[in-house]
Amino acid sequence: MSDQFRVMTVCTGNICRSPMAEVVLRERFEAAGLGDRVVVDSTGISGEEHGNPIDPRARAVLAEHGHVVDGTHRARQVRPSDVVSHDLVLAMTSQHARALRRLTDGTPEGVPNGRVRMYRSFDPAAPTVAPGSPEHVLDIADPWYGGPEDFEVCLAEVEAAADGVVEHVRAELAARA
């Protein structure tokens, strides 16, 4: 097993929510002193945006809030091997989580319990979802269909859960030691 912990964020097209979360998480892991131990990337359930850069509105809201977007992001569709090769796969909606779990049905590796999680489940202010309850209350809405305020809400939800993700990964890394 690699010494690095691999985190992947997943949305629909990989141009808004998941790359925003990727940028925020990468910065938070760096600030926590874990930048060399944690790799963060992102994908989308759909291939419709394949090769496209981050949405300009997502880039703008990230920049307005002091986040650095390096310009190298290109959208790509998630593959079963991506889910299996990451330690934590963070879905932006319950539909994404279901698609990710189905994606690996029947693969020899499968997906261990807890590997696919709702991104907002790490936000201490988000609703609590009991086992077996609908996960959709943790959905981060797609800002692509809205205006600047929708990108602001999306970023706020991403930022609110980021420290919880960092603490979860810190605990996972400590358990490996």
Active site (catalytic) residues: 11, 17, 142
In contact, 26 and 164? CB cutoff 8 Å: no
In contact, 143 and 57? CB cutoff 8 Å: yes
In contact, 155 and 62? CB cutoff 8 Å: yes
Nearest to 94 by CA among 161, 163, 14, 12: 12
Encoded tokens for 160: 């609110």
Task: Kindly list the distances between the CA atom of residue 90 and the CA atoms of 17, 19, 44, 66, 147, in Å, as whole numbers in the listed order.
Answer: 11, 12, 11, 23, 24
DSSP state of 170: H
Distance CA 8, CA 42 (A): 5
